[in-house]
Amino acid sequence: MRLQRTSLAKMTLLAGIMAITACGGGGSAAPPGAGGPPGASSGKSAPAGLITAADITLGDIDQGMVEKGRATYDVKCQACHSTGPNRVVGPGWKGVTERRKPEWIMNMMLNIDVMLETDPEAQKGLEECLVRMPNQGLSKEQGREVLEFMRTL
- Taking the complex as a whole, the smallest distance from the CB of residue 2 to ligand HEC amounts, in Å, to 31
Compute, in degrees rounded to 10, the torsion defined by CA atoms 37, 40, 45, 50.
50
For residues 62 and 153, which CB has a smaller minimum distance to ligand HEC in the complex? Answer: 153
Segment holding 5, helix H or strand E: helix 2-22
- Taking the complex as a whole, the smallest distance from the CB of residue 70 to ligand HEC amounts, in Å, to 11
CA–CA dist 115, 119 (Å, integer): 5
For residues 83 and 136, which CB has a smaller minimum distance to ligand HEC in the complex? Answer: 136
Residue ranges in 44-101 assigned as alpha helix (H): 63-72, 96-99
- Taking the complex as a whole, the smallest distance from the CB of residue 66 to ligand HEC amounts, in Å, to 14
For residues 4 and 118, which CB has a smaller minimum distance to ligand HEC in the complex? Answer: 118
**Buried b or exposed e, range 126-150, using 16+ CB within 10 angstroms:** bebbeeebeebebeeebbbbbbbbb
Which chain residues interact with ligand HEC by CB under 6 A?
A: 30, 72, 76-77, 79-81, 89-91, 96, 100, 105, 108-109, 116, 122, 125-126, 129, 131, 133-134, 136, 138, 146
- Taking the complex as a whole, the smallest distance from the CB of residue 126 to ligand HEC amounts, in Å, to 4
